[in-house]
Amino acid sequence: MGRLAGRVALVTGASRGIGRAIAKRFAAEGAEVICVARTQGALEELDDEIADAAQNAASGSHGKAVLVPLDLRRFDDIDQMAAALYQRFGRLDILVGNAGDIGGGLAPVGHVDQKHFQAAFDINVTANYRLIRALDPLLRTSDSGRAMFVTSSVAHRNQPFWGVYAAGKAALESLVLTWAAEVERITKLRVNLVNPGPVATRMRAIAFPGEDQDKLPQPEDITDTFVALAEPGCERHGEIVSVR
């Protein structure tokens, strides 16, 4: 049996990069994975890969994917998704808030376009707040709800040109750690943040166009941390967990 056998997990930003790797790994560990992303075609490719892996698995413990094409900036649709999940599953065991946005690129704070500023905060902060608000009741219904959100060390470095992304991640950390403190003594829910460090992703390539991504960890290399935090037996709570 996989480490997440029988669990219901939701992963945002599941169509590529870290989110895609997490979704595939969770399914390999036996979870039914609700894969949320904007791109229908990429989600369908992910579904094919998960289905092929299930057919080739030595046992019947491999999980499956449920595809949810959704733009997280359409905030009311998050509430509708939560209602649909309640009707279908009655609970949610695992939430991974992975989707992120660097707001149109890196720039001095005084040069950032309002549209790009708003886009970054919509994805990095507001969408995650709406996920927490909509899915907290479903996670509490689980016998061992687990939630984790992807952050970055840039939130603490005051690094030039990263101001908007860093501010969003700092806000996310404050939001998530406050939620963790609120639920700690009254629920079985465990809430953490994960700092994956440098990983070969499309977002990383945009931010560092001259970097050799072959020398970086691949998304598949960092999924162990997410599985460990998602397991029913995990007791870590209210932490920023660094992969390395």
- Percentage of the chain beyond pLDDT 90 is 83
CB 5 within 8 A of CB 27: no
For 45-100, the pLDDT digits (tens) are 999 999 999 888 766 678 999 999 999 999 999 999 999 999 999 999 999 999 99
Sole residue written with tokens 């992910």: 46
Q: What is the DSSP string of 170-223?
A: HHHHHHHHHHHHHHTTTSS-EEEEEE--S---HHHHHH-TTS-GGGSPPGGGGH
Q: What pLDDT is attached to residue 58?
A: 64
**3 domain-assigned:** no
Number of domains in the chain: 1
Task: Give tens-digit pLDDT for 192-236.
Answer: 999 998 888 888 888 788 888 888 989 999 999 999 999 999 999
Nearest Cα residue to 33 out of 17, 42, 46: 46
Q: Alpha-carbon dihedral of residues 201, 207, 212, 218, nearest 10 degrees?
A: -20
Q: Is the Cα dihedral 59, 60, 66, 67 positive or negative?
A: positive
pLDDT in tens, 158-198: 999 999 999 999 999 999 999 999 999 999 999 999 999 88
Residue 162 lies in a domain: yes
pLDDT of residue 60: 65
- Per DSSP, what are the bridge partners of residue 33? 9, 65
pLDDT at 173: 98
The rounded radius of gyration (Å) of the Cα atoms in the chain is 17
> What are the CA-CA distances from residue 212 to residues 50, 100, 215, 217 (Å)?
28, 22, 6, 11
* pLDDT of 10 strictly over 80: yes
Which positions are catalytic? 165
Give the pLDDT of residue 203: 81
Structural domain of 77: 8-242
**Residues of the chain above pLDDT 70, percent:** 99
Please write the tens of the pLDDT for every residue from 123-148.
999 999 999 999 999 999 999 999 99
The tokens for 140 are: 């509490």
Q: State pLDDT tens for residues 26-44.
A: 999 999 999 999 999 999 9
- Residue 119, pLDDT > 70, answer yes
Does the pLDDT at position 1 exceed 80? no
DSSP state letters, 8-73: EEEEESTTSHHHHHHHHHHHHTT-EEEEEES-HHHHHHHHHHHHHHHHH-SSTT---EEEEE--TT
119 SS3 class: helix
pLDDT over threshold 90, residue 106:
no
CATH number of the domain bearing residue 20: 3.40.50.720
Opening angle at CA 83, ends 32 and 150, nearest 5:
55
Q: What is the reported pLDDT for 59?
A: 62
Report yes or no on 1 lying in a domain. Answer: no
181 in a domain, yes or no? yes
Q: Would 56 be classed as within a structural domain?
A: yes
* Residue 219, token pair as written in the block: 């998304």
